[in-house]
Chain A
Amino acid sequence: MNTSRHNHAIAAAALYWTLIAASAAAEPGSVSSGTPQPPADGPPAVAQPEETMHDMGSMDMSSMQGGRAPADARDPDYSDGQSMSPMPGMAESMDDDTRFGKLLFDQFEYVHGDNANGLAVDAQAYYGSDTDKLWLKLDGERTGGRLGETRTEALWAHATSAFWDTQLGVRHDFGDGPGRNWAAFGVQGLSPYWFDVEATAYVGQSGRTALRLEAEYDLLLTQKLIVTPDIEINAYGKRDPARQIGSGLSNVELGVRLRYEIARQFAPYVGFDWNRRVGGTADLVRTAGEPAFDHQIVAGIRFWF
């Protein structure tokens, strides 16, 4: 594995993000609050390129996306009570209400850790219409011959806005201690700047609660060579020593993977994962004689159907 190339990729990603974040922070107020301009029939203005660039970046686009329909929004019903043609045959010509499915193995990899080697999987599948889908998720690993923390979820996803779905369903954890069941409520979607985001809250038995945040970003080095940093944060409302979980922030997992899309649907990759357990969870893990900080080298295949 070419570590120096990988470090370059990580450095490039970090720089890119830093620049994006810096520019977002420096963004001035929206245009609508700007100072009045000369009337339209005034003398021709000479645009200063810098100023125009500045305007372009600070343009307020918030009214262009999302939001709620104003009370006086137009009624799209122009039917005047006319009904659709009773003629058969349309079902065989139109396709706007078809259901589709997808199975994505986002991570399917060999894991080389400090203490143990093994396999890890992060997979998602869905089936359904544009508005409503059934999602299945699996995230787990088997290292050193034993099943590690493994999370499975079955969720009903409903499209609520252009870029976001709400998700409602159940989660079952197994491996590493007794099994746990949870009710799950969350959102999944695409945030500005193209981050794939999942945020899910869970309520379990015996008053357990949990929160999981995950974000992933595709940084294109070329059209086919793609760096994907991702971050996952878990927090729990209540201690669960049987599963080595303390209350509060439990762990932060950072990963970065470099994949090459031989085809859109098939991409081998290599990467790193850092898992830092914190707080009570870290104490429990250390007590069990394991390190709270874990890093892994991974190599796998990302593929979907």
Chain B
Amino acid sequence: MFSRGLPFDTGRRRFVQGLALGGAAAALGLRSGRALATPSTNAMPELSGTEFHLEIGEIPVNFTGAPRVATVINGSLPGPILRWREGTEVTLRVTNRLRVQTSLHWHGIVLPADMDGVPGFSFPGIAPGETFVYRFPVRQSGTYWYHSHSKFQEQTGVFAPLIIDPAGPDPLRSDREHVVMLNDWTDKDPDLIYATLKRQSDFFNFAQPTAPQFFHDVANMGLQNALAKRRMWNTMRMMPTDLSDVSGATYTYLMNGASPATNWTGLFRPGERVRLRFINGSASTLFDVRIPGLKLTVVAADGQAVEPVDVDEFRIATAETYDVIVQPDADRAFTIFAQSMDRTGFARGTLAPRAGMEAEVPRVDARPWLSMVDMMGAMGVGMDMGGMSHGHGGNMHHDSPMADMPMPHDAMQGMQHGDLAGMDHAGIDQAAMNHGAMPGMQHGNGTAMPTVHHARTEYGYTTDMRVDMPRTNLDDPGVGLRNNGWRVLTYADLHTLGGSLYNTPPQREIELHLTGNMERFVWSFDGQKYSDAKPVHFRYGERLRIVLVNDTMMTHPIHLHGMWSEVESPDGEFQVRKHTVNVQPAQRVTYLVTADARGHWAYHCHLLYHMEAGMFREVVVA
């Protein structure tokens, strides 16, 4: 199922890459006076201080050749960078110039519930023509973002970067910094996209298995293997290429509001340490980011400083942020390449010593199939041959991208067990061979296999599959990034500096399963849509362990408002502090939460269409 690159025709290329002179810039003369320039340099408007006035309204835009209307903050897409300082109190007057309700949510910010900006929970939303005043103390620093929490306004442009400088000197030393905000623009009305997904959930997937591919596989791997490769998918009615609900078939991927053709450019002087603040402000897209020619030193995740880790590539889930230091020594341009997880397009920008320079733009990688570990968790380990490396050796290098597929002999022979750092891979091999004896089994590292508890509401129409033995390892970069020849970031690489903020053991555990029905396009927790569920109660002051089990084959970035999610390693050690925890297919992830913020809080998948479809809970801290 590998098509190398994308065969674009001219019209398609323009659609995917956008108009060179397009974008929000064409309309910006109205408000900000931003120059119409191509390539666009870092002209994102920035507002700093403690008093802000923001207006949410409509502007005409043109990203693809078709004029459209975007909903934006202060007349730009993305909205203005807000720059706060830790230890101050900020006041934000937000005026609604739309004809419908709006809101602004400060993503990842610890604040009083009535300032959180979720209509129906903490405030009634901002009605047309009204101004709402947000005022709260700033008690953290780092890279965040803010966005509307009303209907599909995130998709149509109500999102922007939020940077908080530390109260003292910034320990993350850099000579220069750029915000790199990614999003997915569509010319379609998101209400229509949602309705379309309800009517035909694979509408935007143009990489479905075909009969000629089957015959190709028969020729290459024999009839039995070709059938085996498909049997489970067909039996379960699951789509092995269902990597995202909405694809490049309708999305144009933007970097700081610029299409690939417009080529947003950030400047540097050779030798400088450049801090790039990556923010995924998309509605429904996970991006895989590389800067060919540069080592990426990841120094913060979700605004929280981490022990620096050098990588070639990282996946940024919707709503996550990563701060990355690069040090380009050469007097040349470098491409910032952010391809969508489903490989149907990319956002692209350039780091260059001077405006107008360009570097080679890589081809989009081949589109992978989901593997057995994505379908069956620990039960699938080893079943795809390369499964051991999938699950437990994120850094392994393979020559062939085929190693990610559930089949070939040579991938098996080509495996490099030596890279399985610290793992008792003998045990894993056995695990792979020993399905019948799985329930009582031990992991290679000695941790007992966790027991999952499916909710009684997971047996109805909302839930198309359940995973009985999820994988728990965090060192898997995820589908499409395994064994791709690059050093790819995983959650196992992230260690928040200073450790946990709380360091108290959990008193209680709440298990929630991420559930869905891809065919019906229904998404939920524990098989219950938001409107069918009761709130989740956190007792004020308690320390809780949240256990998330992903009973779907999609990747879900789960965001808890108002409180930190302190992710644990598989053996229960503190790993990383986040506001958005990306849970891979058939994976079990646990994190600790201290319920120190009273009120009603939103808790949801940050893929907008999953959230709107019901993958959402109200959390009550009382």
List the interface of chain A (C-beta within 8 A of B): 12-13, 16, 19-20, 23, 27, 31-45, 47, 49, 52-57, 59, 61, 63-69, 73-85, 87-97, 100, 102, 130-131, 159-163, 190, 192-194, 219-223, 227, 264, 304
Contact = CB atoms under 8 A, between A and B. Distances in A.
A84 B426 contact: no
Contacts of B120: 85, 87-91, 93-94
Contacts of B537: 78-82
Nearest to A223: B206
17 contacts: A13-B211, A34-B436, A41-B427, A44-B425, A64-B465, A75-B456, A78-B510, A79-B535, A89-B125, A95-B612, A102-B199, A130-B461, A130-B520, A190-B237, A190-B519, A220-B208, A223-B210
Contacts of A264: 200, 203
Contacts of B618: 84-85
Contacts of B426: 41-44
A304 B121 contact: no
A20 B234 contact: yes
A56 B620 contact: no
A96 B612 contact: yes
A53 B529 CA distance: 37
B227 A19 contact: yes
Contacts of A36: 436-437
Interface in B376-416: 376, 379, 382-385, 406-409, 412
B317 interface: no
| Interface residue SS majority, chain A | loop
A264 B208 CA distance: 13
B216 interface: no
A194 to B, nearest CB: 6
B442 A40 contact: yes
Contacts of A102: 199
B238 to A, nearest CB: 9
A190 B426 CA distance: 41
A47 B417 CA distance: 13
A27 B234 CA distance: 14
Given A40-B441, A64-B468, A220-B211, 8 more contacts: A64-B467, A78-B534, A90-B120, A94-B530, A95-B194, A130-B520, A193-B234, A221-B212
Contacts of A160: 461
Interface in B404-452: 406-409, 412, 425-427, 429-437, 441-442
Nearest to A226: B210
B224 interface: yes
A13 B103 CA distance: 53
Nearest to B523: A96
Contact of A96 (B101, B119, B458, B530): B530
B125 A92 contact: yes
Given A161-B460, A193-B234, A73 B454 contact: yes
B433 A79 contact: no
B231 A76 contact: no
Contacts of B429: 44-45, 47
A33 B437 CA distance: 10
B597 to A, nearest CB: 14
Q: Which 5 A-B pairs have the closest CB atoms?
A: A90-B120, A89-B119, A96-B614, A57-B228, A73-B456
A97 B466 contact: no
Contacts of A32: 435-436
A170 B199 CA distance: 24
B224 A75 contact: no
Question: Residue among B121, B225, B456, B600 with the most chain A CB within 10 A?
Answer: B456
Contact of B526 (A76, A82, A192): A76
Contact of A93 (B150, B379, B432): B150
B527 interface: yes
A34 B435 contact: yes
A37 B433 contact: yes
Contact of B118 (A68, A88, A93): A93
A131 B614 CA distance: 13
A162 B224 contact: no
B531 A88 contact: no
Instruction: Place the interface of chain B in its size category.
Output: 35 or more
B209 interface: yes
B47 interface: no
Nearest to A62: B235
Interface string B182-208: 000000000000110011100100111
B460 A93 contact: no
B409 A40 contact: no
A37 B437 contact: yes
Nearest to A79: B534
Nearest to B520: A130
B431 to A, nearest CB: 6
A162 B211 contact: no
B43 interface: no
Given A53-B224, A68-B459, A92-B119, A47 B433 contact: yes
Nearest to B226: A19
Nearest to B611: A94
A27 B533 CA distance: 40
B407 A53 contact: yes
Contacts of B172: none
Contacts of A74: 453-456, 511, 526
B309 interface: no
Contacts of B412: 47, 49
B196 to A, nearest CB: 8
B372 interface: yes
Contacts of A78: 510, 534-537
Contacts of A73: 453-456, 458-459
A192 B600 contact: no
B123 A89 contact: yes
A72 to B, nearest CB: 9
Contact of B435 (A12, A31, A47, A64): A31
Contact of B232 (A61, A87, A159): A61
B498 to A, nearest CB: 31
A113 B386 CA distance: 55
Contact of B535 (A52, A83, A89, A162): A83
A63 B101 contact: no
A78 B382 CA distance: 36
B133 interface: no
B124 interface: yes
B134 interface: no
B590 interface: no
Contacts of A161: 460-461
Which of A13, A61, A87, A162 is packed against the most chain B CB atoms within 10 Å?
A: A162
B91 interface: no
B323 interface: no
Contacts of A93: 101, 103, 118-120, 125, 149-151
Given A37-B430, A163-B237, A221-B211, A77 B534 contact: yes
Nearest to B464: A162
Contacts of B457: 69, 76
Contacts of B101: 89, 92-93
Contacts of B385: 47, 49, 52
A65 B236 contact: yes
A52 B510 CA distance: 36
B131 interface: no
B579 to A, nearest CB: 19
Nearest to B417: A44
Nearest to B113: A85
A263 to B, nearest CB: 10
B622 interface: yes
A48 to B, nearest CB: 9
Contacts of B118: 93
Contacts of A63: 466, 468
A76 B207 contact: no
Given A90-B121, A221-B212, A56 B622 contact: no
A215 B235 CA distance: 16
Given A69-B454, A92-B125, A100-B198, A42 B227 contact: no
A250 B129 CA distance: 67
A53 B458 contact: no
